[in-house]
Amino acid sequence: ERERERKNTLRQPDQHLMWMFCRLLLWILVVYISIPLIIKLCPSIQAKLVFLNFVRIPYFIDLKHPSDQGLNHTCNFYLEPEVGLKIGVWHTVPAQMWKEAQGKEGNWYDSTFSSNHPVILYLHGNAGTRGGDHRVQLYKVLSSLGYHVVTFDYRGWGDSDGSPSEEGMTSDALFIYDWLKQRLDKMPLFIWGHSLGTGVATNLVRRLCDRGSPPDALILESPFTNIREEAKSHPFSMVYRYLPGFDWFFLDAITANNIRFASDENVNHISCPVLILHAEDDGVVPFHLGKKLYKIASQSKSLSGHKVHFVPFSSSLAYKHKFIYRSPELPNILSHHLMSVSSNGA
């Protein structure tokens, strides 16, 4: 009898562990099944996951003071693309103007657009703000190469008003582009998009080309073909990718929010030089999507006669999704592809 009691006592911890393990598995299964159902019933959740505008990293940055991020030749100001809608903008002047920029106000920065330096309009990706570290580092690189860099937070991002949408992001970009063109003489204006910003960039350039005023060049850093293919390839979708009905649960929810970012369609309506930069070890926007977009662009009739170039960065460099700015080859790449345009513009 005592031996039986001893064995039962020994079994109890094992049974308890097994019960806890089964309970954990049940909870995981419930959560796994619930997420697709919740997203299907509330497609607005999927829109938030695409934009991630509520993720503000770094959290404690004061966007009114770009000098806090080491950009002490940068001016912060606000524009209204629509009545009552304010968006935050940064203008970083070329590094050659650094000394002169100290202590200057907005009017001085505005006057510098008449200088003999090209301008890059930078369209950032999802999450974070115009003050994200990898973005700031790129501004510094571009400024050191003699470019004005103008960037902004779309409506719903950072300290900008409103709520995000593909149409709103594209409208904001078009407004800033037109605002810049009014201040530039003959100097080139390039459009640079990164990640989700590449979708905004191709939307913008398609609109500009449709109205007969294409930009001087388009730079796409870590681009994708369209948002459905990107969502299907994103690491977050890995656990659901082979679930029956994946498209219906997840991708159709994106489409229901009028989110397309169809760069693969847009490149068939674009008529300006295109430069694509992509790291082979990009874990957010897979390299094969950037390569696929390049193949589509290189066969586009609207781009025939324009330079379309794809620059891959080896996995050994570890640039991943947002560190291409670290490449020592970037100045030569930009010089080769953009300086000829700058010379023609000048």
Q: How far apart are CA 233 and CA 289, in angstroms?
A: 9
pLDDT-wise least confident of 39-48, 125-134, 209-218, 287-296: 39-48
> Residue 185's pLDDT is what?
80
Q: Kindly report the average pLDDT of the chain as a whole number.
A: 89
What domains sit in the chain, N to C, each tagged with a CATH number?
60-239+262-343 (3.40.50.1820)
Calculate mean pLDDT across residues 123-131: 95
pLDDT, residue 240, reads: 65
Lowest mean pLDDT: which of 88-97, 233-242, 329-338?
Answer: 233-242
The bridge status of strand 217-221 relative to strand 189-194 is parallel
The answer to whether residue 228 scores a pLDDT higher than 70 is yes
**Does position 313 have pLDDT exceeding 90, yes or no?**
yes
pLDDT in tens, 97-122: 999 999 999 999 999 999 899 999 99
* Exposure letters 26-39 (e unless 16+ CB within 10 A, then b): eeeeeeeeeebeeb
Q: pTM of this prediction?
A: 0.89
What is the reported pLDDT for 1?
Answer: 57
Spatial contact of 168 and 162, defined as CB atoms under 8 Å apart: yes
Judged against a pLDDT cut of 70, whether residue 32 lies above it is answered with no
The pLDDT value given to residue 5: 56
Per-residue confidence (pLDDT) for residue 183, from 0 to 100: 94
Residue listed under structure tokens 């874990």? 283
Active site residues: 195, 282, 321
Tokens of 183: 């201040």
Phi, psi of 23 (to 5 degrees): -65, -40
What percentage of residues in the chain have a pLDDT greater than 70?
90
Q: Is residue 343's pLDDT more than 60?
A: no
Least confident of 36-40, 106-110, 213-217, 320-324: 36-40
What's the rounded mean pLDDT across residues 283-305?
96
Higher per-residue pLDDT: 255 or 289: 289
Planar angle of CA 336, 337, 342, nearest 5 degrees: 95
Taking 3-state DSSP, the helix, strand and coil percentages for the chain, each rounded to the nearest 5, stand at 50, 15, 35
Question: Quick one: DSSP state of residue 213?
Answer: -
